[in-house]
């Protein structure tokens, strides 16, 4: 049992100060902007909740939010089953295990703009490997700077390339922690492969999968650099996700008020959705 010890606050003070400096002060700035109007020269006028109303009513925000949800939904529905399938098919011991782990983790350690640049080079219509294969070998017209569908497919495939390994590694860690006796018992009980997956492997992976889904949700919802470098939000606005739109408004147009209001709404949605996910996925544990 843990001891009650109020002086433990001293232990957490450095963390508290550091994170508060980074989180609270900027957050206050954002809140400050979100309720004021400025015309430069540090002149501010009280604006109340007008910016929030404007953002929430604007079609541009609705569209960006819609695209964001679509993007997150698509990558979750691809990456989670694919990651689990790969983890199931991976060897449990031997020489190939570290090889798999290292090569699979590699994409996650590449700077995000390099990921974008790499995919840009990879998909260039005439000189990229993928672009050339599609256009010249397979004869499928493919140019993501012109075609919104191609752009969407490309950012989805890029995210699958970049982040499926996270699901693989988590699911794999869950799988290797299952004692061998479970498989032996299932074999004796004449359980089918599907039953082994459904009643042994899936339940044992539940915790790590919850974390995987949560992380993939949060990170894909906050994604900025990779699609920005790859498509710049285009063609048109077709791949302008929430973060890209936010940066466009804040740093491109310097509309601080609406940008700040949008930031807060954005953050609130992320928090709310993460919380919902978490509650939904863990609610079975508390029942019984």
Partner 1 sequence: MRLKSLLPAAYILFLMLPIYWLVAMSFKTTNEILAGFSLFPQTWTLANYIEIFTDPTWYWGYINSIIYVTLNTVISVTVSLPAAYAFSRYTFVGDKHLFFWLLTNRMAPAAVFALPFFQLYSAVGLFDTHVAVALAHCLFNVPLAVWILEGFMSGVPKELDETAYVDGYSFPRFFVTIFLPAIKSGVGVAAFFCFMFSWVELLLAKTLTAVEAKPIAAVMTRTASSAGYELGLLAAAGTLTIIPGAIVIYFVRNYIAKGFALGRV
Partner 2 sequence: MAQIKLSGLRHSYRPDPQGEADYALKKIDLTWEDGGAYALLGPSGCGKSTLLNIISGLLVPSEGKILFNDQDVTSLAPAKRNIAQVFQFPVIYDTMTVYDNLAFPLRNRGRDEDVVERRVTAIAEMLEVTEMLKTRASNLSPDNKQKISMGRGLVREDVNVVMFDEPLTVIDPHLKWKLRSKLKELHQRVRATMIYVTHDQTEALTFADQVVVMQDGEVVQIGTPVELFERPAHTFVGHFIGSPGMNVLPCEMKDGAAFFGGERVVLEGPAEVGGAAEIGIRPEFVSLSSNGTGIAARVRKVADIGRHKVVEAIVHDTRVHAILEGEAPNAGDAVRLDFKPSQTRLYKDGWLTSRPGEGTR
Per CB under 8 A, 193 contacts partner 2: no
Q: Which residues lie closer than 8 Å to 250 by C-beta, 6 or more apart?
A: 256, 259, 260, 263
Q: Are 193 and 85 contacting, i.e. CB atoms less than 8 angstroms apart?
A: no
Longest dimension (CA), the chain: 78
Nearest distance, CB of residue 93 and partner 2, angstroms: 14
Query: 112 by DSSP, 3-state: which?
Result: helix
Q: Are 285 and 221 contacting, i.e. CB atoms less than 8 angstroms apart?
A: no
Q: Is 182 exposed, middle or buried (0-12, 13-18, 19+ CB in 10 A)?
A: middle
Note if the bond before 235 is cis, omega within 30 degrees.
Answer: yes
Per CB under 8 A, 65 contacts partner 1: no
Per CB under 8 A, 191 contacts partner 2: yes
Q: Is 232 exposed, middle or buried (0-12, 13-18, 19+ CB in 10 A)?
A: middle
Q: Which residues lie closer than 8 Å to 91 by C-beta, 6 or more apart?
A: 97, 100
- Find the binding residues for partner 2 in span 163-182 (CB under 8 A): 179, 181-182
Q: Out of 35, 178, 191, 215, point to the residue binding partner 1 (CB under 8 A).
A: 215
Q: Out of 35, 78, 117, 178, point to the residue binding partner 1 (CB under 8 A).
A: 117
Per CB under 8 A, 8 contacts partner 1: yes
Query: 6 by DSSP, 3-state: which?
Result: coil
Q: Tell me how far apart the alpha carbons of residues 220 and 70 are, in angstroms, rounded to a whole number.
A: 11
Per CB under 8 A, 86 contacts partner 1: yes
**Which range, of 4-12, 33-41, 42-50, 187-195, touches partner 2 by CB under 8 A?**
187-195
Q: Out of 37, 44, 56, 128, point to the residue binding partner 1 (CB under 8 A).
A: 128
**Angle 109-110-115 (CA atoms, 0-180°, nearest 5)?**
140
Nearer to partner 2, 85 or 185 (CB): 185
Q: Are 125 and 143 contacting, i.e. CB atoms less than 8 angstroms apart?
A: yes
Per CB under 8 A, 199 contacts partner 2: yes
Nearest distance, CB of residue 126 and partner 1, angstroms: 7
Out of partner 2, partner 1, none, what residue 270 binds, judged by CB under 5 to 8 A for its kind, is: partner 1
Per CB under 8 A, 280 contacts partner 2: no
Nearer to partner 1, 127 or 190 (CB): 127
Nearest distance, CB of residue 240 and partner 1, angstroms: 12
**Which range, of 35-43, 157-165, 195-203, 226-234, touches partner 2 by CB under 8 A?**
195-203
Interacting residues toward partner 2 by CB under 8 A: 179, 181-182, 184-185, 187-192, 195, 199-200, 203-204, 288
């Amino acid at each position: 049992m843990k001891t009650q010890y109020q002086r433990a606050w001293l232990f957490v003070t450095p963390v508290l100060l550091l994170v508060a400096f980074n989180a609270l002060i900027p957050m206050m700035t954002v809140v400050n902007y979100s309720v004021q109007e400025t015309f430069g020269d540090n002149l501010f006028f009280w604006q109340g909740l007008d910016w929030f109303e404007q953002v929430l009513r604007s079609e541009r925000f609705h569209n960006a939010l819609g695209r964001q949800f679509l993007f997150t939904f698509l990558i979750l529905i691809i990456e989670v089953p694919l990651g689990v399938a790969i983890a199931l098919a991976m060897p449990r011991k031997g020489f190939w295990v570290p090889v798999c782990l290292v090569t699979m983790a590699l994409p996650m350690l590449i700077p995000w703009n390099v990921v974008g640049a790499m995919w840009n080079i990879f998909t260039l219509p005439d000189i990229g490997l993928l672009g050339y294969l599609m256009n010249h070998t397979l004869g499928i017209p493919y140019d993501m700077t012109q075609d919104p569908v191609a752009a969407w497919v490309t950012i989805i495939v890029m995210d699958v390339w970049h982040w499926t390994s996270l699901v693989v590694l988590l699911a794999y860690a869950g799988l290797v922690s299952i004692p061998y006796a479970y498989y032996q018992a299932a074999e004796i009980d004449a359980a089918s492969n599907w039953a082994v997956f459904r009643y042994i492997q899936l339940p044992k992976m539940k915790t790590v999968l919850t974390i995987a889904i949560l992380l993939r949700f949060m990170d894909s919802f906050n994604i900025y650099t990779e699609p920005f470098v790859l498509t710049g939000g285009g063609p048109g606005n077709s791949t302008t996700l929430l973060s890209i739109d936010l940066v466009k408004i804040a740093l491109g147009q310097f509309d601080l008020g609406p940008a700040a209001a949008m930031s807060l709404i954005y953050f609130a949605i992320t928090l709310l959705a993460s919380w919902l996910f978490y509650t939904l996925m863990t609610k079975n544990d508390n029942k019984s």
